[in-house]
Amino acid sequence: MKAVLRGSRRVLPAAGTVLSFRTAPFTRFSPAETGRWAALRVIGASPPIIVILVLDGIWTARPSLAETAACGILREPMLLGETPLSAQDRAHAEAIACYGIGARYGTSLASASEAAEGEWRWAHDRDALRDEVAREQIAEKAEAAAARTRFAARMAGLTWDRLRAETPLAGWSAADTGLPPAFVAGARRALLLACAELSALAPKPRKPAARAIFKRCVAWFNHAITASAA
């Protein structure tokens, strides 16, 4: 969930904020447009974590705040308003904050759509959903096998010169990962330095020397991550 812009500041949604959203297709084989809406309630917001509860209602049009009040890749969220947190909401927030048993976690709000859309499809379109999930599993297995083949071919012809000529973490970008550009650039430099130091060792390097290089590289990441979270 993106923070709301107010003037020059980014403001996290307050606890009690209710958002509605169009549900996304449950799998790549599902219809592109579901025609359904769901809603979620923010029950805690403290950087870098936002705690939400997906409401159990499903609608064919954007619901009102009153309609969501009756309920026990996130697209086009619209602010509906704020409602007081119930004792149950606060208990859920506390359980998630304390990593309680049964609490679920995710790195994006895609899981909110999956939860809402998946519940509706299971209740009203179960056979088709099962077929789509089976096709998804087959596709994922084929993709994993292809990835293993590409990895084996890459390792068979990999040399230090080729490795140093590549861009480490080429798939990383601030837009895709949300990481600061300075962190990504530093991580690439740290990995290139480690490659240069390792390649400078003898063809059969002593383990203590190689271990020291790996340790310095890992230490850089630990320090950079700690500094960026501060």
Q: How far is CA 153 from CA 148, 158, 195, in A?
A: 9, 9, 20
pTM higher than 0.75: no
Residue 172: per-residue pLDDT: 81
Residue 79: per-residue pLDDT: 61
Is the Cβ–Cβ distance between 23 and 36 less than 8 Å?
yes
Residue 180: per-residue pLDDT: 81
Neighbours of 188 (CB within 10 A): 15
Residue 61: per-residue pLDDT: 94
Domain ranges for the chain, please list them.
4-127, 160-229
Residue 170: per-residue pLDDT: 86
Mean pLDDT by 10 residues, the chain (230 residues): 44 83 92 93 78 88 92 60 80 74 64 88 93 95 95 88 87 72 90 92 87 95 80
Here the tokens at position 60 are 């064919």
